[in-house]
Amino acid sequence: MTIAFTPTLTSRLPNVGTTIFTVMSALAAEHKAVNLGQGFPDFACDSKLVDAVTSAMQAGHNQYPPMTGVPALRQAVSAKIAGLHTKTYQPDSEITITAGATQAIITAILAIVHPGDEVIVLEPCYDSYVPNIELAGGVVVRVPLTPGTFRPDFVKISAAITSKTRAILINTPHNPSATVWSRSEMLALQDLLAPTNILLISDEVYEHMVFDGQPHESASRFSGLAARAFVVSSFGKTFHVTGWKVGTVAAPAALTAEFRKVHQFNVFTVNTPVQHALAAYLGDPAPYVNLPAFYSAKRDLFRAGLASTRFKLLPSQGSYFQCVDISEVSDLNEADFCQWLTREVGVAAIPLSAFYGNGFDQRVVRFCFAKKDETLELALERLKKL
């Protein structure tokens, strides 16, 4: 008689559980709360983009595309970067289309990080960074951004660099704090890395959401950074189609060659008709050129409503997030406050402590304002009762 059993295994990620985004979204659904936690829009994308996908499917673009991405899309991405940042990446050898930015980041890490290599992350940071490094056998080196302002502390970053440092990850505009790196900060990073062999992974998925007339200081703009960087972006964030999971990586040819070795064996390639649609849609720059005005209007609406509450508003320079200090609203810690806010007030938020390895609690939570105006108004109506 055969006895069926599931063999035991040793987890590759023993400290990883269900993400805070999944937990809070489930809690929001359970309590019919306005979900300002997880960062995705609740409004439709441009119908022209949907039509372009349909047209691509009807035109027969339904089989495997090239592993590196549809040529027309790689060319369009190269042209966009050149137009915005005066940096030319060769479409054939330096641009790769990925299954979203998260896949781009883990692929870059797997391509460059060997067991024992150290990788610097700046906390608070997006929750995929640390598990990605651990899966590659790397050693995570956590350096905090300055509490309260979330600016990079180059003294601390410099002190974290050792002979084993293989890479550093940065994120601008920043999730979760909504800060944007300045030109002087990017130059400081360039100077710091110049005498080293350290590689840079620059997570720029919110590149088109920078407010108040500021430029987006892409790593592509700085020759000393671009020469050592994987620059990651996301069509999902830019065009309100997060579920499509299509991103890009721009990197020098030598780095791209190693990146593609891993890419071809973890996803191989990316949805064909969507790539053709995006290539056609990028012919008109207006959708991404106008994005700062679109999101700054939502930011301003949300901030104006929060101004009449006891929340202390932190600056929102970029991305589609607004962080607030809860010190004058509640004595609860961040995580408990977000749970209480969802259950009792009917609005879901994310605790910033979830973005720190040690759960550092500074009484700050994050809201997402990538929502219809009526969604934001409903949330504000509930929050004003606090």
Chain centre distance of CA 56: 28
- Work out the mean pLDDT of the chain and round it to a whole number: 97
Q: Which residues contact 359 (CB under 8 A, 6 or more apart)?
A: 353
Mean pLDDT of 180-194: 98
- CATH assignment of 48-287, among 3.90.25.10, 3.40.640.10, 1.10.3720.10, 3.40.50.12500: 3.40.640.10
pLDDT reported for residue 85: 97
Task: Tell me which residue of 13, 51, 34, 244 sits closest to 134, measured CA to CA.
Answer: 13
Is residue 344 predicted with pLDDT exceeding 90?
A: yes
Distances (CA, A) of 376 to 129, 237, 334: 30, 19, 21
Reply yes or no on domain 20-45+290-383 having CATH 3.30.70.260: no
In the predicted model, what is the mean pLDDT of residues 142-149?
96
First-to-last C-alpha distance (Å) of the chain: 64
Tell me the mean pLDDT in the region 357-385: 97
Question: Regarding beta strands 95-98 and 247-250, do their DSSP bridges make them parallel or antiparallel, or are they unpaired?
Answer: antiparallel
Q: Per-residue confidence at 219, pLDDT binned at 50, 70, 90?
A: very high
Position 269 pLDDT exceeds 90: yes
Chain center to CA of 109: 15
Over residues 134-140, the mean pLDDT reads 98
- pLDDT mean over 159-178: 98
> For residues 204 and 229, is the Cβ–Cβ distance under 8 A?
no
Is this prediction's pTM over 0.85? yes
By the 8 A CB rule, do 150 and 173 touch? no
Confidence tier at 195 by pLDDT (50, 70, 90): very high
Average pLDDT rounded to a whole number, residues 61-73? 98
The contacts of residue 290 (CB under 8 Å, 6+ apart) are none
Query: Which pLDDT score, from 0 to 100, does residue 347 have?
Result: 97
Half-sphere exposure of 155 (CA within 13 A, CB side): 1
Summarize the confidence of residues 252-256 as an average pLDDT.
Answer: 98
Answer whether residue 196 shows pLDDT above 90.
yes
Domain ranges of the chain: 20-45+290-383, 48-287
Which residues are within 8 A (CB) of 239 and not within 5 positions of it... i.e. 6 or more apart? 45, 46, 49, 278, 281, 287, 288
Please tell me the distance from the alpha carbon of residue 67 to that of residue 2, in angstroms, as a whole number: 44
- pLDDT tens-digit map of 10-62: 999 998 887 888 888 999 999 999 999 988 899 999 999 999 999 999 999 99
Instruction: Specify the pLDDT at position 22.
Output: 86
